[in-house]
């Protein structure tokens, strides 16, 4: 039976869309090879991130950070969970996804803002996770001054790991524009945890230039801490090695360090020599080292020679003046 003209028209009306769909199948439902399921998966993840069920939100976070490319909408939804989810476990889990390397990519634009808010969370675990993320070298260094002030506040946290991460984050951050960060770091120089002390010294070299009178404050603090503070001599030496220059000839510090040098019964350590170099005026240090080498004839000639070489490199002009006075 030959189909009528009308039936042929109806057949072609159904057949054309069907044939087009069949032709598109090898290329994916959206006509893009190899990416047919991606939009569907992303839409589902975005929907689950907004679910009222905590278990679904957790699962959606896991899937979101496993995506090879983090879409803007999903990144924004993650930031919303990080800042506003009523379940602190969800907030914590979202933050933890950015606390290691490699981090999800591309990073959400407002990641630092969300982490900065988490630094002030009442839950210690959330504060610790947020500061750990900001300390990661694979993430952009903290830039916002409010973030820097929040990090400085955490230098007094009860948890030593949190304090250590805070100091490390400040050691890699943008320099602070006021003295609050310097004051926090200065107080961390005698932290009972050695990791905090080391990172605080490194961070001070970055932030002191933005604090008028910061070097003087640091010198006053070190003088007040005295020999009883942990690693006091080493702390001053490493402060010097990290690039910090204290005011030359600060009376209290200079007196302490000069006496320590003059009373040395054995060859002075590198820490003591560098600490003295951080505080004593160059001419005074050079003459003190020379006198030390002259007074200790019982030391090996090679050691005395090292002291004289250091004295010459410190201020040869001062030594020449002394020689002229003697002869």
Residue 228 lies in a domain: no
Please state the pTM of the whole predicted model: 0.70
110: domain range? 61-138
> Which pair of structure tokens corresponds to residue 253?
């510090």
Residues of the chain with pLDDT under 50: 1-37, 326-327
Q: Is 108 part of any domain? A: yes
Q: Say if 65 falls within a structural domain.
A: yes
Q: With contact defined as beta carbons under 8 Å apart, do 94 and 84 qualify? A: no
The residues, any chain, with a CB within 8 Å of residue 288's CB and separated by 6 or more, are: 258, 261, 262, 276, 280
Three-class SS state of 142: coil
The reply to whether 2 falls in a domain is no
Number of structural domains in the chain: 1
Confidence at residue 87, expressed as pLDDT on a 0 to 100 scale: 95
CA distance linking residue 180 with residue 155, whole number of Å:
12
Phi, psi of 7 (to 5 degrees): -65, -35
201 found inside a domain: no
Look at residue 126 and tell me if it is in a domain. yes
Q: Tell me, what's the pLDDT at 225?
A: 67
Query: Quick one: 200 exposed, middle or buried, by C-beta within 10 A (0-12, 13-18, 19+)?
Result: buried
Residue 230 has a pLDDT of 55
CATH code: domain of residue 125: 1.25.10
Over the stretch 257-313, which tens digit does the pLDDT of each residue have? 888 888 888 899 888 898 888 888 889 899 999 999 999 989 999 999 999 999 999
Report if residue 214 sits inside a domain: no
Spatial contact of 206 and 192, defined as CB atoms under 8 Å apart: no
**Would residue 123 count as lying in a domain?**
yes
Contacts of 220 (CB under 8 A, 6+ apart): 250, 252
- 158-193 confidence digits (pLDDT tens): 999 999 999 999 999 999 988 999 999 988 988 999
* Tokens found for residue 13: 């009306």
Q: Please identify which residue in the block is written with the tokens 């007074």.
A: 295
Q: Give the 3-state secondary structure of residue 271.
A: helix
Query: Helix (H, G, I), strand (E, B), or coil: what is residue 226?
Result: coil
């Amino acid at each position: 039976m030959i189909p009528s003209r009308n039936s042929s028209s109806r057949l072609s009306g159904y057949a054309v869309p069907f044939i087009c769909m069949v032709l598109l199948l090898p290329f994916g439902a959206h006509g893009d090879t190899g990416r047919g399921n991606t939009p569907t998966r992303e839409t589902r993840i975005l929907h689950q991130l907004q679910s009222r069920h905590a278990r679904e939100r957790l699962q959606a976070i896991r899937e979101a950070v496993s995506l090879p490319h983090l879409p803007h909408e999903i990144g924004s939804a993650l930031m919303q969970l990080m800042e506003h989810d009523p379940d602190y476990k969800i907030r914590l889990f979202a933050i933890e996804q950015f606390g290691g390397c490699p981090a999800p990519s591309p990073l959400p634009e407002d990641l630092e803002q969300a982490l900065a808010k988490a630094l002030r969370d009442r839950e210690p675990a959330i504060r610790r996770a947020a500061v750990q993320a900001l300390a990661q070298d694979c993430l952009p260094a903290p830039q916002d001054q409010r973030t820097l002030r929040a990090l400085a506040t955490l230098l007094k946290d009860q948890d030593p790991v949190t304090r250590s991460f805070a100091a490390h984050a400040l050691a890699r951050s943008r320099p602070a524009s006021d003295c609050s960060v310097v004051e926090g770091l200065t107080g961390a120089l005698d932290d009972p945890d050695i990791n905090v002390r080391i990172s605080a010294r490194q961070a001070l070299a970055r932030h002191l230039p933005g604090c008028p009178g910061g070097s003087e404050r640091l010198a006053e603090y070190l003088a007040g801490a005295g020999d009883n503070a942990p690693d006091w001599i080493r702390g001053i030496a490493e402060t010097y090695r990290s690039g910090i220059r204290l005011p030359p000839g600060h009376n209290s510090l200079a007196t302490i360090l000069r006496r320590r040098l003059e009373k040395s019964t054995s060859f002075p350590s590198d820490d003591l020599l560098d600490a003295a170099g951080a505080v004593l005026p160059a001419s005074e240090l050079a003459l003190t080292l020379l006198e030390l080498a002259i007074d200790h004839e019982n030391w090996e000639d090679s050691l005395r020679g090292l002291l004289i070489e250091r004295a010459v490199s410190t201020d040869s002009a001062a030594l020449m003046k002394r020689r002229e006075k003697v002869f």
